[in-house]
Every structure is written in C-alpha cells, then in structure tokens.
Amino acid sequence: MIATRESRLALWQAEHVKALLQERGHTVSLLGMTTRGDQILDRTLSKVGGKGLFVKELELAIEEGRADIAVHSLKDVPMELPAGFTLACVLEREDPRDALVSPVYESLGALPQGAVVGTSSLRRVALLRALRPDLRIEPLRGNLDTRLRKLDEGHYDAIVLAAAGLKRLGLENRIRVAFDPDTMLPAAGQGALGIEVRADRQDLIDLLAPLAHATDWLAATAERAVSRAMGGSCSMPLAAHARWQTDGVLRVDAAWGDPEGGSALLRIDCTDRADDFAAAEALGERAAQRLREAGAH
C-alpha cells in the first residue's frame, strides 16, 4: 500500500511508483490522503511548520500499518526524518530546474518593472530579488493546478514552479523558460522522488532497491547534506544543486540570499569525488561550511 497526497501531481508520482512495482510482479494499491500542508493555504510554509506538513500524515499511516511506503517529492522531505523512518531509495530524477510560467511574458527579462511574480519559496524569492530587484514578489500557495489557476485568473504576471511537476503532468507547454541552474539555482532534491519506509522493514528496502538511481541518489544526498548542515528548514533562503562533472566527481553549487533584498546573494561551489553516501554527505557539509564562511547564517 502506497500512502500519497491527493493532489494530481502527488497521485501521478504514486501511480508512477505503483507501475514500476507492478512491472516487477508486485500487487500495489494507493491510500490517498490530505495533509496539513494541503489544508493551510493562507500562510507560507515557513510560518506554519515547514515542509514536514506534507509528510506527517503519510508517516502516521505507515506507523499505524495502514500503508507500507510513502512516495514524496524529495524537496518536500525534511532533512531529518522521524526516528524509525528512512529513505529506501531515490528514483531517477526529472528536470531539476525552476520554470517561469506566464500567459504573456516569454522570459524573466521581458517582465515590466513592478510586475507581480508569484512564489512562496524563500529560495526563489531571494534568487528573483537578486536577478530583478524591481519585481513585486507575492505569496503563492496551493497545489500545482491551483497555482496555475491563480495565474490564469490574473492575480500574477508570472509564477515560478518546478519544471519537473509541469513535465510529469504533461504541462510542459506552460513553461516559458526553464532557468539555467547557473542563473536560478534549484532546491535540494528538486525533481527527484523519494520513497520512505519504516527503518525496520528490510523486506521493503530490499524490494525497492531496484528502483533506485545510484548517481541521482548520491547527488541528492550531497544537496540535502548542505541543507541539513545549514539547519534543514524551509524557512531558509537556501539553494543547493549537485552536478556530475566526470565519473565519480560531483560539483555542489549552493546559494544563500536575503528574501528582503537587503544583502548580496552568496554563492559557492565545492567539487570532490563522491563514490558513496558518506563522501556525498561530506561534500555537502563542506559546501555548507563555505557558505557560512562567506557570511551565511
């Protein structure tokens, strides 16, 4: 049994994992749930408890035996899982980039001065302010379809979303431009799916092992290590993105910004071999240390 949120994107993700498991001969069903993160839409996540609001009910379903696994967008998974839980695997990653969506404007540069751009991510706010301090950045909550509807109703001139969600739902045509990571650095784990289980369910960990994508999991591990070392909260204006340079050599870029635009964007990179999870974790921790040395807090 897969525990999943009931948004269209979350159900797509759960159905994707269900299909992969069924291809391997397993019988799978879904347990759809509404989480606190889905219910509270009038405040930013950083003010109501963070991204863990999207996963707590799913974890409770696993703990109570109503579900066996939970499928998450990895960027929504807290850096520290509750005692007794673990990530069984990270699947092959979809496009990790941010995307600009607008019914009128074809790029960030084409937006007029004072244009209204919607996002509730402090990371995106900080990066957008560094790129275009003249824009009005307004809060935007809700699932992907809700955000697109608010855009189409004229509440915003443009919004910024994860390209992965749009592509998974066949909405790639809504993307005006996918930002180059060197321009708009993604969030840790963005574009990746993670599967959470009870840590004592070795049978499920073994069953899910064939779904793991080794290099994407290592890259996501390094990114999440940056966030964990910096405090692991969605209330931080932090970006972290890892890219493979050559076999075994991983580069981690990280950025720390001021959502109010009062100070310059801090950006660092860190490169080393990452042949296993310990090395990937260590690389992410070194990247976080460089951010702190540069003035991040």
- Domain CATH for 243: 3.30.160.40
Do residues 19 and 136 share a domain?
no
Do residues 73 and 201 share a domain?
yes
Do residues 24 and 158 share a domain?
no
Looking at residue 55, what is its pLDDT?
85
* Range of the structural domain that residue 162 is part of: 98-178
Do residues 8 and 85 share a domain?
yes
E strand or H helix at 281 = helix 277-294
Phi, psi dihedral angles at 286 (to 5 degrees): -65, -40
What single-letter amino acid sits at 255? Answer: A
Catalytic residues: 76
Do residues 200 and 112 share a domain?
no
pLDDT in tens, 24-72: 999 999 999 876 545 544 444 444 445 556 688 899 999 999 999 999 9
pLDDT in tens, 88-145: 999 999 999 999 999 999 999 999 999 999 998 999 999 999 999 999 999 998 899 9
Do residues 3 and 63 share a domain?
yes
Do residues 2 and 73 share a domain?
yes
Residue 171 in any domain: the answer is: yes
Do residues 58 and 199 share a domain?
yes
Beta strands in 96-235 (DSSP E): 98-101, 116-118, 136-138, 158-162, 175-178, 193-198
Q: Name the strands in the sheet holding 249-256, side by side, starting at the edge strand that comes first in the sequence.
A: 238-246, 249-256, 266-273
Do residues 11 and 33 share a domain?
yes
Q: Count up the domains in the chain and report the number.
A: 3
Tokens of residue 28, six digits: 């799978």
Do residues 84 and 112 share a domain?
no
Residue 187 in any domain: the answer is: no
Contacts of residue 210, Cβ cutoff 8 Å, sequence gap at least 6 = 24
Do residues 115 and 255 share a domain?
no
Residue for token digits 């074809």?
Answer: 106
Looking at residue 82, what is its pLDDT?
92
Residue for token digits 């075994």?
Answer: 248
Looking at residue 159, which CATH number applies to its domain?
3.40.190.10
| Rg of the chain, C-alpha, whole Å | 19
- What is d(CA 236, CA 233) in angstroms, rounded to the nearest whole number? 6
